[in-house]
Amino acid sequence: MKSLLPWICCVGPAFVLSTQAAIHTEPVEYIHGNAVLQGFMAHDPSVKGKRPVVLVVHQWKGLGDYEKKRAEMLAQLGYNVLAVDIYGKGVRADNPKDASELAGKYKSDRTLLRGRANAGLAVLRKHKLTDPGRIAAIGYCFGGTAVLELARSGADISGVVSFHGALDTPNPNDAKSIRCKVLALHGADDPFVPPKDVAAFEEEMRQASVDWQLTSYGGAVHSFTDWNAGNDNSKCAE
């Protein structure tokens, strides 16, 4: 869990838990516009009262086993977690072509992407176990892009972390709306995020006076947190 430590300070300490604790998980349906979405919630029922929370946004194929496992791992640390669904209930890709088309729809419409992310945030914020003053959002690949756009939308949260997400945005001036801390964790050898995008992101953050950090991992390629990917970028591209 070393890679998660930088952003835990955004929402404050959770709890020291037994690794044997039984984690409660459940699907959660919610609506954005005319779309029915189905997220995945996880928490430890042995922890009493409200707790800091984490919103998790999936990679380009849609909400799946990887994000659900991450949600359970975070729940074991004492967080209330919602892995959101950007694409819609049952809308998932099982191959790179379809994944590219799905991700492209939202990357080309950042307003829609922000709306879907905020819809999940609203569900998590209203949950009975949520401490509304301690909310963070993290995302992987496509999800990293999504949480950066969530921040650019002006969401009232403590922080966002992008894990190997695309850093570009069509509206860099929107960074002036960011109200939270921003952490971007980037593979220095990621072929999908060129140096010009990294430089533009850094300048965007500076110009907007955001509280931000960017860490580039030498030798790391795309999807470096995904234990299923290895060095195969095609398993999680942008």
The domains of the chain are located at 19-235
Rounded mean pLDDT, 62-91: 97
Q: Assess whether pLDDT exceeds 80 at residue 5.
A: no
| pLDDT mean across residues, the chain | 91
Q: Specify the pLDDT at position 236.
A: 53
Give percent above pLDDT 70 in the chain. 87
19-235: CATH topology is: Rossmann fold (3.40.50)
Q: Specify the pLDDT at position 118.
A: 98
Q: Specify the pLDDT at position 228.
A: 79
228 compared with 163, residue with greater pLDDT: 163
SS3 content of the chain, % helix, strand, coil (to 5): 35, 25, 40
Residue 2 — pLDDT band, cuts 50, 70, 90? very low
Rounded mean pLDDT, 126-155: 97
Residue 235 — pLDDT band, cuts 50, 70, 90? very low
Per the structure block, which two tokens stand in for 231?
């060095």
Alpha helices in 3-152 (DSSP H): 5-11, 65-76, 96-107, 110-126, 142-152
